[in-house]
Amino acid sequence: MPPSITSFTDEALIALDTLVGRAGSLVQPTLRLGVTGLSRAGKTVFITALVHNLIHSGRLPMFEAARSGRLARAFLEPQPDDAVPRFQYEDHVRKLVQERAWPDSTRAISELRLVIEYESASGWNRFFSNGRLCLDIVDYPGEWLLDLPLLGQDFRAFSDSSATLARSSPRADLAAPWLAMAAATDPKAEASETHARDLSRLFTDYLRACRADERALSTLPPGRFLMPGDLDGSPALTFAPLPDLDASPAPKGSLQAMMERRFESYKSVVVKPFFREHVTRLDRQIVLIDAMQAMNAGRDAVVDLERALADVLACFRPGRSGLLGSLFSRRIDKVLIAATKADHLHHESHERLEALVRRIVDRAADRIGSTGAAVEVLALAAVRATREATATEKGEALPLIVGTPLKGERIAGRLFDGEAKTAIFPGDLPESPDSFFQLLDSRGQVGLPEINVVRFRPPLIEETDGGIKLSLPHIRLDRALDYLLGDRLA
């Protein structure tokens, strides 16, 4: 066979392949779910628990399709994008269930396709065939989300906002080494790679210190500085903001010019493609928020969380801001804001947690002048690591939670070994979120409610008589599923 014909056949095959793929996605309904959230918010745990509960027919009474017995089965299938690593579902489950350990922090993007076969609720649809929905889920390091707001800034604006933030009260001490070096730097001097690297390193150290547990701050762009993925050491990451730039343009060959160029390539080569290829193709979003950790760390952490959310939410309004309008190819039609790790509180406080998170989000939305899109807020725990108990103290019932603290956790001076269980009083959230925010807004450091956040190990999963492991326990994961998937399984 002459070579030209072979290549013709190859091309035809590829074309046919694409065509079949396209046609496939037409007859095969697909839903792309974005699991969004700042770093450590619980995205990886959420995805693992969601998939585990669907595959193993977990207890999902508030998920209508499950309750009515219409879910036939769910299973994993090869994901659609060959170039994206697969979400290591099996590894995460093994770690959670067998080792009773949480997954590691996510270092790169990954994707998973779950196929859900169901019986249609309407008689008419059922007449034709059973339904099949492909759920594509994307997981990525939470830090990268913070890059979204950078797309609307030039280097000068980025430098200004970074410097203002770095000089503010909860950060100034951590930022001192970087600010001192930046102050001694002449932006108009000749560019030097060593100098750029030193500035970038000190700036990254400062961001890393802000993220540490005691401060638990959230607004920390550029995201790849903390989680570089495969770009570690690349010139696109070797830059830093330059505070107090004067209005004159950067001279050719100067440090300022070099930093500007690198900041622009960071946006165009790193940030934009990531959002275009992943975030903007989503149909639905769940935004996970760890308000507990912020409250535990105090006022500054809550304010900073609110700021980070405002920055990010501002970008999620395609069309309006114009900033990302051209990037969004689909419209996100449902957003669920979930206050995660609700198992850290007694259920009596869950409504209060929801109210608080709703207010944090509202205030964030107010600040960006949004009309308040229809979003749902829910307090949930993707994996429930505690159970509840009550103690009586001086004739009063005290709501407690019981769990196994992680090895190395310290509560009231007692060091835990990862085996011993304990009961703690998690603290009371204020009845009305207003009082919380009044305290928050009064600049004094007076008493935000005392919340005790202890890191517990994942729960022990018991086996039934038949030796079958039960699925991962949760709090309101079923409600989240109902909101996010329910209408697509009708």
Ligand X SMILES: Nc1nc2c(ncn2[C@@H]2O[C@H](COP(=O)(O)OP(=O)(O)OP(=O)(O)O)[C@@H](O)[C@H]2O)c(=O)[nH]1
Residue 87 interacts with, from Mg ion, ligand X, none (CB under 5-8 Å by kind): none
Min CB(103)–ligand X separation in Å? 5
Give which of ligand X, Mg ion, none residue 416 binds (C-beta under 5 to 8 Å, depending on kind).
Answer: none
Picked from Mg ion, ligand X, none, the partner binding residue 349 (CB below 5 to 8 A depending on kind) is none
Minimum Å distance from CB 302 to ligand X? 18
CB of 475 to ligand X, least distance (A): 8
**Distance of closest approach, residue 140 Cβ to ligand X, in angstroms:** 8
Return the number of the residue (106 or 404) whose C-beta is nearest Mg ion.
Answer: 106
Where do contacts with ligand X occur on this chain (CB under 6 A)?
37, 39-45, 102-103, 105-106, 141-142, 340-341, 343-344, 381-383, 385, 455-456
From Mg ion, ligand X, none, which one binds at residue 256 (CB under 5 to 8 Å depending on kind)?
none
- CB-nearer residue toward ligand X: 211 or 363: 211
Q: Would you say 57 or 105 has its CB closer to Mg ion?
A: 105
Q: Which is nearer to Mg ion, 102 or 203 (CB)?
A: 102
Considering beta carbons, is residue 50 or 255 the nearer one to ligand X?
Answer: 50
> Closest separation between CB of residue 101 and ligand X, Å?
8
Pick one of Mg ion, ligand X, none as the site partner of residue 102 (Cβ within 5 to 8 A by kind): ligand X
Q: Indicate which of ligand X, Mg ion, none lies near residue 39 (CB less than 5 to 8 Å, by partner kind).
A: ligand X
CB nearer Mg ion, residue 107 or residue 330: 107
Q: Binds 385, which of ligand X, Mg ion, none (CB < 5 to 8 A, cut-off by type)?
A: ligand X
**230 vs 393, beta carbon nearer ligand X:** 230
- Which residues of the shown chain bind Mg ion in the complex (CB under 5 A)? 43-44, 106
Q: Which does 454 bind (CB under 5 to 8 A by kind): Mg ion, ligand X, none?
A: none
Residue nearest to Mg ion (CB): 106
Q: How far is the CB of 382 from Mg ion (least distance, A)?
A: 12
Report the nearest approach of ligand X to the CB of residue 288 (Å). Answer: 6
CB nearer ligand X, residue 348 or residue 366:
348
From first CA to last CA, the distance across the chain in angstroms is 52
Residue number with CB closer to ligand X (40 or 262): 40
Alpha-carbon gap, residue 71 to 54, rounded angstroms: 9
| Partner touching 53 among Mg ion, ligand X, none, CB below 5 to 8 Å by kind | none
**Residue 18 Cβ, how far from Mg ion at the closest point, in Å?**
32
Assign 3-class secondary structure to the chain: CCHHHHHHHHHHHHHHHHHHHHHHHHHCCEEEEEEEECCCCCHHHHHHHHHHHHHCCCCCCCCHHHHCCCEEEEEEECCCCCCCCECCHHHHHHHHHHCCCCCCCCCCCEEEEEEEEECCCCHHHHHHCCEEEEEEEEECCHHHHHHHHHHHCCHHHHHHHHHHHHHCCCCHHHHHHHHHHHHCCCCCCECCHHHHHHHHHHHHHHHHHHHCCCCCCCCCCCHHHHCCHHHCCCHHHCCCCCCCCCCCCCCCCEHHHHHHHHHHHHHHHHHHHHHHHCHHHCCEEEEEECHHHHHHHCHHHHHHHHHHHHHHHHHCCCCCCCCCCCCCCCCCCEEEEEECCHHHCCHHHHHHHHHHHHHHHHHHHHHCCCCCCCEEEEECECCCCCEEEEEEECCEEEEEEEECECCCCEECCEECCCCCCEEECCCCCCCCHHHHHHHHHCCCCCCCCCCCCCCECCCCCCECCCCCECCCCCECHHHHHHHHHHHHHC
Cβ at position 43, least distance to Mg ion in Å: 5
Distance of CA 268 to the CA centre of its chain: 22
